[in-house]
Amino acid sequence: MLFRSPEEGLCFKRFVPTLATEGIDLFKLSVGSVLKIGDSIMEISRVGKRCYPECVLVQAGTLCVMPDEVVFARVVESGLVRVGDMIQMVGAI
């Protein structure tokens, strides 16, 4: 389990989650994995993001979720996404 540091790193202000999920480890998926979420189709375009050396979390040796637990996706087909919608693996492009 990860705990949020009382100090916020650089990325906490630069990157705000568009979707927060539970019950699926999206960061374990490969780039190119395709998901159906609500009425939309999304493709995983990037897994993880590097930390910056000037970040107070990196300098303090504090655990940050950005390198391992952040996923970026592109919208392949737009559609309505609601709280509680299931996330389904559709395949890979």
Neighbour-count burial of 78, counting CB atoms closer than 10 A to its CB (0-12 exposed, 13-18 middle, 19+ buried): exposed
Q: Over 50: is that where the pLDDT of 72 sits?
A: yes
With bands split at pLDDT 50, 70 and 90, how would you rate the model's confidence at 81? very high
Q: Residue 89 has what pLDDT?
A: 92
**48 within 8 A of 68, measured Cβ to Cβ:** yes
Please check whether residue 30 lies inside any domain of the structure. yes
Please check whether residue 2 lies inside any domain of the structure. no
Please check whether residue 33 lies inside any domain of the structure. yes
Close Cβ partners of 70 (under 8 Å, ≥ 6 residues apart): 15, 27, 47, 48, 49
Please check whether residue 29 lies inside any domain of the structure. yes
pTM: 0.74
With bands split at pLDDT 50, 70 and 90, how would you rate the model's confidence at 61? confident
Handedness of CA 59, 63, 67, 72 (dihedral sign): negative
Displacement of CA 91 from its chain's centroid (Å): 18
Q: Residue 1 has what pLDDT?
A: 30
Residues 7-55 pLDDT 10s: 566 666 666 778 888 888 888 899 999 999 999 999 999 998 888 788 7
